[in-house]
Structure 1
Amino acid sequence: MKAKGHVKKHAGSHKHHKTAKHNPVVPPAASAPGAFVDPGASLAVAAAHVHAVKKHPHHAKASKWSPLADVACCAAEALAASARLAGRAVSDADVLALYWLTATGPDEGATLEATIEAAGVFGLGGARLAAARPASALGTGTVLGVDLTERHALTVDRHGVWTWGAWRPASCGLLEAADEAWELTWQ
């Protein structure tokens, strides 16, 4: 019987040998054949060649939650709640139709701006979006964008909000998380 750990398969191998990345900083002078390079100069050369990279502009994040469970259509659901509060009839099928005008996949979500634009062009159920503008004050039917764990949209109703398929009191803390507010006028 052979001793454990000394079989031919493992003899002499080092499990993590050469798995660490090694990217030494090489000064430009080292690229010339036969050039002498001061070993201490590599850090100074590397520090002299640091470049600031411009950050990519921030894009609006899509809102992603839905009581319809199969798709991330909270922005469309928030617009539907606003239209319902204005006395318009909007079905779940109308909400899904609006969602599919703004997204290409079930988990993609849609921004409030894209959803408002689609509702302005195509309507929502039998309702037509007559006007949409940034809200200066919160009132019934105002649609909010909030940044929770993921982007989410909800609708203000008197002393609370319509969100996650139910009415919740204003004390739930969602109003404080709002960073986007839209006043919508429905016809």
Structure 2
Amino acid sequence: MNKTYLSRRTISSNLYLSFSRDEWAKRSGNLNITLSESDIKGILALNDKITASEIQDFYFPITRLLQLSINNNINLYRERNDFMGIKPRKMPFIIGVTGSVAVGKSTTSRLLKTLLERINPDLRIYIVSTDNFLKSNARLMEENIMERKGFPESYETQDLINFLVDIKSGVARTQIPVYSHLKYDILPEKQDI
């Protein structure tokens, strides 16, 4: 029996693509979005240094790629619902942004949200941080893991899972905890999503 084995190099070259800045910038295609300096200032956090040209060269192509995925997702659910004879309903599209502490996840999220809202003014787009699912400081102290805040054991993981299940199940409204970066703790009130 003949077996074909793929070398690590072959697999890697098929899994990952590499673009120069110019090649990537061209992938924004005919995306026609404008952001003023005021818009950009409202998105950036303290000490963020992202220029308008960086937004256009890097974030516009990402936004276009996300928009293609969103459109495909909408079409898939529409066609599937038609096929199954199910009453059409909107299906949320979840985008996850990950990375180390203070690398710009929140800024990237705000920027993508703004760009996607410009393309899709009729869609409701929310940013939900995993910080909202941290255990309260009182609970962390009670469990003697305050120094582990931000590590997996410091999160209300089941609450996060339940939230994602609710969203993907089509629950019209749900509430999530609110984390304050001023108090560095979970607040008593909840946020409607």
TM-score, normalisation: structure 1: 0.22
Name the one with the larger strand percent.
1
Asked which structure has the greater RCO (Cα within 8 Å, sep 6+), the reply is 1
